[in-house]
Structure 1
Amino acid sequence: MTTAALRTVASPASAADERRAYYDRIRPLHLTPLWESLHALVPREPQTPCAPALWRYDAIRPLLMESAELITADEAVRRVLVLENPAIPGRSSITQSLYAGLQLIMPGEVAPSHRHVQSALRFIVDGTGAYTTVGGERTTMHPGDFIITPSWAWHDHGNEGIEGVSEPVVWLDGLDIPMVRFFDAGFAENDDAKVQHVARPEGHSLARFGHNMVPLRHDHTSATSPIFNYPYARSREALAQLQRQEAPDAWLGHKLRYINPLTGGSPMPTIATHLQLLPRGFVGKTHRATDGAVYSVVEGRGTAHIAGQRFDFAPRDTFVVPSWAPLELVASDEVVLFSFSDRPVQQAMGVLRESFD
């Protein structure tokens, strides 16, 4: 009788024992059987380890202020409380591919100049008067501004106040740290100087590229937008104009994507950013997408129903929607939300999928 024939009459217990013994023999050769993990590796639909979660700013702000008494911005390099997804603790990740944290800079402080491969965004949450300098150009931070630090660009932050007013400033950091870590491609470097030399006047990049025009002899080689500060006042007015002129989308309300004016694509090669307005009383239909997204509440109060869980949000709160988690947005007031995700990477790979129920 052949081995195959014998196996057909063997008891289930003996067959299981035979397989375990086989696995034990191949393990020292660094081999594993695909058939034992195939369905987990290639699931019928995304099976994210991440969980939906909400961080209430009113609860976090006192802890941020307390951190300023424990360590200076200079000592910390970046004084940040990381928003860790509760389902994947210890990984400094809010989704599988993205990092998020709330950074604090106090009046008179400087976060010293450095650069890194990871692309970063700053979305200003609270306070006015801080600045960031990127590649020799400085910009003042205002709540709602979306600011970019391109990969490998020198950048520092400071808080000198504005018009005689000095106050703590907090912003949401978003970086592709987990993505770069996955590729083992991370590099960083500290600057010789604590603060960069400012080589161009404030607003220079916006003047050159922010009006649907480009200097004729400009040769832009970076994959990142040449605009590094998208002021909230301009973006908010665009939403208001849209609201006056057309009905809201049944799933998204009025949602706009920030773009690189030279390409029409995302401002950052690895991170997409959006701003959306939900009219008062808006009750959105269910939608989901494979790009897990991080949301910062700019204005208004409402509710996010994420994968069957309810999260009531208020201004300055942050919440995360994991990959393929059903999302319904409800607005008690008129609501404005900023969000970011890894959409451009998924689009480049051809794996992005969305569903609008």
Structure 2
Amino acid sequence: MSPLHLTPLWEVLHALVPPRPASPCVPALWKYEQVRPFLMRAGEAITAEEAVRRVLILENPALRGQSAITQSLYAGLQLILPGEVAPSHRHTQSALRFIVEGTGAYTAVDGERTTMRPGDFIITPSWTWHDHGSDASEPVVWLDGLDIPMIRFFDAGFAQNDAQASQAVSKREGTSFARYGHNMAPVRHDAPFGTTSPIFSYPYERSREALHTLERDAPVDDWDGVKLRYLNPLTGGSPMPTMATFMQRLPAGFSGKPYRQTDGAVFSVVEGEGTVEVEHAGERTTFSFGPRDHFVIPSWHTSRFASGRGCVLFSYSDRPVHQALGIHQEERIT
């Protein structure tokens, strides 16, 4: 059979259709205090223009060499220094930026700039021109989250460099938020970025206020604390067709119940401290995290959060794809 490229199904059936999800990924934690010196060294070794994007990739320990934090998601920490420009380009991959350190850099998308501040969530829609620059007096670092492995699976990756380093600014900062960010939309409009949210900057100030208000005035969930998902205001769905994004607050003294889900998730610690216990196939790992740390919980790994002093976590996953395919599963364990 082998010369005809044939293989007996019965020899591989159990691996192809397992009784439960069997991700090759492992949980992992990146402490910011350990990562930051390497980012700063990268700033000395290469410019943003030379690198195009000066990023240190967060690779899952079980997927080294694949530029992936899960089998469908990419994560990296990007650094831009005062006065630099990361040149304009576009690609089919959707991207998110979550600001980790520093204020005063900017991202430009489709002719509109937005200033970056810690805790802000910013979108780069698929196939839109975008560049980054800095008018700050300090380094600025953000988390890049992309669907690179997913697009690679479909052999659908394209990229194009712009003829100029920075795109021409044609809209005032805040224009997209004014149009779509107040539970209102223009009477006559088309979705400017297709299935991606027309708001490309979600400021942390508003997210934080919502979380603290709900913590004070509404019941706290036994598994998630206070957890909200970001929305595409035109559809009510996820901000991007391939990635969902979330912000959650674990109140002081929180001791959560365990849960697991088929969408693996990447977390960025915004503020505060806590622990997460991750269990899979009889192996248990506990991470203690603090501000600006990052960690990944793979598919169908049971996780349990706790926080003595309270904390805020940003996360993203490939949940919209699971939901579109009708394969998303979640189990909240009591």
TM-score, normalization by structure 2: 0.98
> 1:184 aligned to 146, 155, 175, which one?
155
1:227-242 alignment to 2 at 5 Å? 227-242=199-214
CA–CA distance in structure 2, aligned partners of residues 223 and 316 of structure 1: 30
Identity between Structure 1 and Structure 2 (%)? 67
Which has the larger strand fraction? Answer: 2
1:1-357 alignment to 2 at 5 Å? 26-161=1-136, 166-220=137-191, 222-307=194-279, 308-357=284-333
TM-fit CA distance, 1:116: 0.1
Which has the larger helix fraction? Answer: 1
Which amino acid is the alignment partner of residue 355 of structure 1?
E
CA–CA distance in structure 2, aligned partners of residues 49 and 172 of structure 1: 23
For structure 2, the 5+ residue unaligned runs are none
For structure 1, the 5+ residue unaligned runs are 1-25
Which amino acid is the alignment partner of residue 241 of structure 1?
T
TM-fit CA distance, 1:332: 2.0
Which amino acid is the alignment partner of residue 44 of structure 1?
P
**Runs of 4 or more consecutive aligned structure 1 residues displaced over 2 Å after TM superposition:** none
Q: What SS is found at the alignment partner of 2:255?
A: coil
CA–CA distance in structure 2, aligned partners of residues 181 and 286 of structure 1: 33
TM-fit CA distance, 1:231: 0.2
Which amino acid is the alignment partner of residue 209 of structure 1?
Y
Q: What SS is found at the alignment partner of 2:254?
A: coil
Tell me which structure has the larger Cα radius of gyration. 1
Which amino acid is the alignment partner of residue 265 of structure 1?
G
Which amino acid is the alignment partner of residue 348 of structure 1?
A
CA–CA distance in structure 2, aligned partners of residues 225 and 325 of structure 1: 30
1:194-227 per-residue CA deviation (whole Å, 9 max, x = no partner) reads: 1000000000000110000001011216110000
- 8 Å CA contact 1:113–1:156 kept in 2: the answer is yes
Aligned residues: 328
TM-fit CA distance, 1:36: 0.6
Kindly report the root-mean-square deviation, in angstroms, between the aligned alpha carbons of the 2 structures: 0.6
CA–CA distance in structure 1, aligned partners of residues 168 and 81 of structure 2: 21
CA–CA distance in structure 1, aligned partners of residues 274 and 23 of structure 2: 25
1:328-357 per-residue CA deviation (whole Å, 9 max, x = no partner) reads: 001122110000000000000000000000
Which amino acid is the alignment partner of residue 204 of structure 1?
T
1:96-122 per-residue CA deviation (whole Å, 9 max, x = no partner) reads: 100000000000100000000000000
1:273-328 per-residue CA deviation (whole Å, 9 max, x = no partner) reads: 00000001100000000000000000111101011200000000000000000000
TM-fit CA distance, 1:244: 1.3
Which amino acid is the alignment partner of residue 343 of structure 1?
R
TM-fit CA distance, 1:228: 0.1
Q: What SS is found at the alignment partner of 2:38?
A: helix
Which amino acid is the alignment partner of residue 198 of structure 1?
V
- 8 Å CA contact 1:300–1:332 kept in 2: the answer is no
CA–CA distance in structure 2, aligned partners of residues 88 and 190 of structure 1: 29
TM-score, normalization by structure 1: 0.91
Which amino acid is the alignment partner of residue 136 of structure 1?
G
Q: What SS is found at the alignment partner of 2:61?
A: coil
CA–CA distance in structure 1, aligned partners of residues 77 and 66 of structure 2: 16
Q: What SS is found at the alignment partner of 2:276?
A: strand
